[in-house]
Structure 1
Amino acid sequence: MADSALIWAGLSVLAGSAAAIVALRQNRQARRLAAHLKQAEDDRKRLTRERDGARGEAAALADRLAALAMDTASLRTEVQALRQAEAEAQALLDAAPFPIWRRDAEARLVWVNARYAQMAETTPAEAVARGLELASSHDLSQPRDLALAARDAGILRTEDRRFVAEGDRRNYRIFEQPVGSGTLGFGQDITTEADARGQLRRHMEAHMEVLRTISTATAIFGPDRKLILFNRAYARLWQLDEAWLDTSPTFGEILEQLRADRRLPEQIDWQSYKRGQLGLFTTVIERQEELLHLPDGSTLRLVISAYPSGGLLFAYDDVTRQLTLERATNTMIAVQRATLDNLYEAVVVYGSDGRLSLYNRAFSQLWQIDPDLLNRQPHLTEVLEAARPLMQRGPGWAQLRERLVDSFAARKPTRGRLERGDGAVIDYASVPLPDGAVLYTYLDVSDSIRIERALRDRNEALERTDRMNAAFISNITHELRSPLGTLISMTEVLAQGILGPVNARQEEYCGDIMLASRNMLRLLDDIIAIATIEVGQMALDPDDLAAEDLWQPQSTQWLDLAEQRGVAIELPDGQATPAGRLTGDGHRLRQALDSVFCAAIDGTPQGGRVRLSTYTAENGAADTNGRLCLRIESHSGGLAPVRPTRVFADLADAPDRRRTHADLSLVVARGLLDLHGCGLRLDDGDGMQAVEILLPAGRTPAMAAIAASPGGQ
């Protein structure tokens, strides 16, 4: 029993050990399994990350492939455009009327245009293959030498050549320009220029031979101011030694010699005078004339002109006797003219040769002939032609002109009455003079007739003007404005794509057409408004208005325009506007205010400011107190002391003093404000211009008259 107990105890111990061993093995397997699970989780996460990265790389690769495809298409388009441009350039160069070629680094021909091949009497390919040069057969290396020199120097080189082309000897100016590793060349036909130079040279030689023989003292100085030609008259005039002149002294040396001989007028500052004379060689372009009064009392007429080959030509004429005779003659004529100018009658004297020799102021005024023409002593026929606008017009002019000329040739005293084409009635008389001249007197006796005719003609002219203005307004409305509106509508249809899609450039063109058409439409509206105002046909619809109604509808447009011009604007606050109402045509007053305010924005420099304010007039005339006044100011802002443009000039000037290039919108605004009886006042200060518009408080007599007239209905 004890042994069995011992055995069971041993078995129990062994069983416990076995269980412990089993438990230990299970723990080890569990830990091993947990490690495997953790490793598997890490592998799963790593594989997930690698899969996500691969997907990102694949997406990036797909985007890159798409971009490469787009770049490839763009490059293909570019290549096609370059090929097209190359073909067009090739065609353009082949169409050039002068030869063009290209050389490589060794100055060999690699390309020529059609004109080059035509001059070489072959095809472009054969000209390049054979290396045919445009040069004389005696020096075929000349073209390559010029190209190599241009290539080595890196600058444009030119030279003139003479060779046979198309069976004719021609002169060409050759140009070689370095381009890349080679050169680009072309030729300019200067045959006509070379022939002209030769002809000019022969002409100058003949001219010099003539100058040596004339009596006028002449000297020619070259560009270096040295004497290159003189005649004997020049040496005699200045008493200079011809042997010394043959040594070609300079102009300055001759001046010093003449000063030493006391032949020139005395000068206070000789050096300044000499510098001025020497400066003529660089300043004289056009022909100059002057008189020289010499110390010996003689007077010379000096003519200075530029010489064709460079330098100056000096020509001297002694006009002492001529001036003396002219002074005596002018004195006598002045006495006669002073006598005649104090006569009431118009007087004219024609010499025996039929040329006018004397007249008085009354004659020039009576026949409205330019005194400059009469002072040139014209022939009788020239005076008749000058007076023709006042004479009888029509087919009878030839007979009338012949009768007047015959009366002069008859040399008999005559009297008569002449009715001019302008309605004036003239009494005339002719008296032969002992020296063969004929004196004519004219007296205007048509005052009463002229006044009557002037009144009748003025009335007819006014009626014609009214009819023409009405026709002008009608024509400009139907012949210009209506087609222009149609053009704007059709352009808008095209731009909106109603008739089919349009590309960006076509849409831009349509926008430009509409902008220009609207500007022209606004200009036509201004012209029609001016014409309508001037003929008194402007229709007004007066009504009671609030002050805000004048600027609030245009405020958005003004803000856009100011933003484009870089100008700040200030408009009245509704709470700060003075109370009170005004009477007028709201549409026309808004049109006038819009024109004035837009002109102020346009005339204000960038960075400036335009302000619109309102106030109630006080302490003025009885009819102005309590009336609403608008003030528009244009400030130069940070650009002071820069002043704004005179933006209100056309608004302030009266219609009869309107400028040639007037702002039509301001002219229309002035007319509309005048129709409403508005008062205007300009205020001008440093960096500021302002205009104040005194608005009507009630229906003015002018508005009532317009509303009651047939044109204003």
Structure 2
Amino acid sequence: MTLSTIAMVLLGLLLAAWMVAAGAAIVVAHARQKRAEAALRNARRLSRMAEESPAQLLMVRTDGRIEGSPRLAQWLGFETLPQFLTELAADPARGGVAKGGRGLPPEQVEALAEAVLTTQRTSRPFRLSLNPNGSRRTLALRGCLADPLIGPRGAAQVWVFDASDAETQLARMRAETDRARSDFTALVGLIEAAPIPMWFREADGRLRLVNTAYVRAVGGENARAVVEDGVELIEVVDGLTPAQVAQQAAGAGRPIERIISTTIDGQRRALRVLDLPLGDEGVAGYAIDIEEMEELGRSFRAFREAQRSMLDLLSSGVAQFDASRRLIFANQPFQRLLAMKPADVINPPQFERLIDTAREGGRVPEMRDYPAWRRERAGWFAASSVQEEAWPLSDGTHLRVVAQPMPDGGLLLVVEDRTETLRISAMRDTLLRTRTATFDSLFEAIAVFAPDGRVQLWNRRFAAAWGLDADFIDTHPKVADLLQRIAARLARPAQAKAVGDVVRAATLERRETGGRVALADGRTLEFAGVPLPDGNGLLTVLDITDSQKAEDALRERNAALVEADQLKTRFLANMSYEFRTPLTSIGGFAELLQAGLGGDLTEPGREYVDAILTSVARLSDQIENVLDLSQSEAGMLPLSHEAIEVFPFVTKLVEERRARILDAGIQFDLRGDPGAGRIEGDPRRLGRAVGHLIDNAIAAVPRGGRVLVELSRHRLRGANRVRIVVSDNGPGMDAATLARALGGLKLGADGLTAERRQGLGLPLARQLIEAHGGQLDVESLPGHGTTAIVELP
């Protein structure tokens, strides 16, 4: 029992020990569990802190494997971080895991791999900046060799920072710095290149900086020398130096601007100088050369005075109003047209008051609502364009008013008296209508062409003459289009060019030409081009179909008459020998019989022989006349040139006709200056011509009548000429009888037809006198006699 008891006790003790050990184990386990839970909570907190940290850790092993957080994968644009560093540049289209096709550019991945490899080999840290594809994010990398407790031996740890905001701010600050530096450089260059002198003074007024224009203006060597010597551009004005004026500007804290005169390059120039305080830094200044502006101002004032003097000479009224609507200038025509009073010239009125004064003088139109009308005219000052209107006045005057708003708010008013112009315009319209009516009433077809070849005016006969459509002419066609229509109606279309040449010669070459064309319908048109004073050309067209036919017929008859006349001339020339030979033989035999060579003749025989000789002499004279006349008409009359004393020559002709004069029982007077001089001519033929005139006068005067022959010398058209006048107081002749006598014709027995030439006296006398370069005029009145006047050179 004792052994059992002991065993039970031992067993109890053993169980108690186990219980104690189990309790202790439980306590220790519970404590460890609490520590483990605390460590887990701490690990989770650290992990969360690492995930929320602005820096993410990227672990790169020696074999290129990488480890990192999901947040880093999101920064790089991946859903899950790749296993290897080179896969950061994977192409999603080829099975990569990049989100949205992002990742890193291949060149940045290569740069990162090279930096990591260098760090793993040399333990040298590195810094990089990466920009994921398709993202504005900027990642800053700080890499170094990893601690063995953190990563495997030889691994590199890379801390990745999201530096997007800082990088953006830095980029902005760099851009602003670069812009400020660029602006400052540009400003310095601008100041240096400025054509006007510029300078900067310190607070005490001493020069600190000057530009090239300043150095050039003061004639210095360079800017440094000018600043060191304190060379001033501005002279002392009113006892104040430029430095003192600058100090006044700095003390007042406001710019001081003034206009002064100074000497630059030996010339006196006007400058506008501005001193601008720049706080405590100093005072800047610049000077603008306004000499040209001042000169322009003086020129403008002189121009304005000259313009106003010129406006006084215009026939149109011109007035100027300033921005306050007050009259500042009005020339003499304006004062007269608007009936201005002398007081208005001395004290210029407002625009509205001027209109009232003009209304009182009846120089504005009559209207029902005058105040509203005046307000509308006052609105011309605010108009944006030129205003123009007509003012018909009650006295019949028509004024044209033009209002030109000025840029300074004033107004330029021009008034022109158009009364005479409108009257002339009305007269012109009347003349145009008259011209149109005149054109349409002409028998000729006419058209007026402008220098560019376009038809301006035409009458109705023009379209009818060429067979053109009136609607086509109404389009004012050019000559080229007109010729195309005309060519289709010509017998020879190529002749249309001649019409165009005539129009061109009249409009451009300013000369008259003409031509003639035949139409396809058998008509013949004659046209001519005449240049007009206004630069246009006139084309006249006349239908000469009938006259052409008559002309052709006359030409045929004339050719027949010419041939007959030539036959007559040849006949007379050939037969003159035949006439003279037998007549000479008859005269010779008769003279032999008269001389008694054929034996003694009885008294009747002697009378017969005398009659034969008289007839032979008369027939010889007629033959000579016929030959002279025929040769003269043919232009083959031979003339001798001898000196002829005029008075003895005419006296001899009268003496030869003494017997006839005595037998006729008439009074014959010969008057003239024996010193009338001499002429050159053929005495025989000239004597025959004057003798015929004397014979006709003797034959025309009845018994008891009177014949006068008068000689004189006078100047005609600057030349000395001899005049022989043969006049009688016979019955005279009317105009028709005189014309027939000069033509050698007389009326037939029926009183209607003309017979052949019966007398050759006057025609032969005219031919012979004209052959000597003279002129024969015959004047005759029934009951007053006949006068023949011979003019010889």
TM-score by length of 2: 0.38
Give the structure with the larger helix fraction.
Answer: 1
TM-score by length of 1: 0.41
Higher relative contact order (CA 8 A, sep 6+): 1
